[in-house]
Amino acid sequence: MNDAAIMVSDVSAAYGAKKALDAVSLCVPRGSHFALLGPNGAGKTTLINILCTLRKADAGSASVAGVDVAKRPTEARRSIGVVFQDSSLDDRLSAWENLEFHGLVYGMAKKSRRQMIETVLNLVELENWTHEIVRSFSGGMRRRLEIARALLHEPKILFLDEPTVGLDAQTRQRIWHYLDRLRRERDLTVLTTTHYIEEVEGADAVCIIDGGKIIAEGTPEALKKQYGQRWLHVVPQNGEALAAIRDRFPQAQLIGTNTLAFPENGEVKTDVIIDQFRDRLAEVRFLPPTLESVFLSLTGRELRDRADGQRDADRAAGRRGGRR
């Protein structure tokens, strides 16, 4: 397909006896925002590693910007930028030095390299910290610098593996503002994985993967129409009430630490739950179909739990001063 930025055909991969990907196929149109969603261990990062030439598939084929990633990995790397979940900046260097090194690795000419460094630092609003050591940066500033670095060599495709985990809502919104602007201006293709499902409500396509297999794919609206349903969320007044409801209705989905969710069209009638525990509930609400409800319906798991826990852990481990 001439308009395909990424093509994956029957890709499989395993770690020992554990299969991470099982005959996965997908097509990402050029200039689109494609979201890959799945619980931990679903195979998302393995697929991105294959597309970024960090590992080879055990079977099948994949290409980026028309280049086979297994047969021509060096050429493929020139077309892609990557922001990994874990920071890969050298925090002993300044922002400029990190970008300078990246430009040298990609063989950028001195003049264009330095022009692009100024351009991307301005883009992510770090021009005032050009010569500051990265060790002094906040988590949000580091993430913005990593995005600047990934864009420095003007890639056609940008891979984002959990790009906003550990960041506050304002910084996450700012990062997506940058990326949406770039897609419009440069016809950039963006493939992202995230545990903040609301970030991809506006994606062109969403692919849900679980157990190494694609279980649903389509526009957010199409997925909500096909798989979405209203969910009843109830918040018990205390731990004792929570335990009692779970004991009575073991099929309830636990959301976070104190919310139970029931599909409106599930085997348990929502009015029965309310009637039986009315005096022991602090909050009752119905939520309309969302991507979160689609994910919950298809996988039986809630995506946000891990993100919130990881965000707390990241903040505790990686807080760097008060800069934003």
DSSP codes of every residue in 65-84: TTEETTT-HHHHHTTEEEE-
Contact 241, 280 (CB under 8 A): yes
3-state secondary structure of 9: strand
What tens-digit pLDDT sequence spans the chain (324 residues)? Answer: 568 999 999 999 999 999 999 999 999 999 999 999 988 888 998 999 999 999 999 999 999 999 999 999 999 999 999 998 888 899 999 999 999 999 999 999 999 999 999 999 998 889 999 999 999 999 889 988 999 999 999 999 999 988 887 777 887 888 888 888 888 888 899 999 988 888 888 899 999 999 999 999 999 999 998 887 788 889 999 999 999 999 999 888 888 788 998 887 777 787 888 888 989 999 998 888 888 878 887 887 665 544 444 444 333 333 334 444
DSSP conformation letters of 237-249: SSHHHHHHHHHH-
Tokens of 31: 């200039």
Task: Give the start-to-end residue ranges of the domains of the chain.
Answer: 4-219, 225-312
CATH class of residue range 225-312:
alpha beta
Contact 24, 47 (CB under 8 A): yes
Whole-model pTM?
A: 0.78
Q: CATH for 4-219?
A: 3.40.50.300
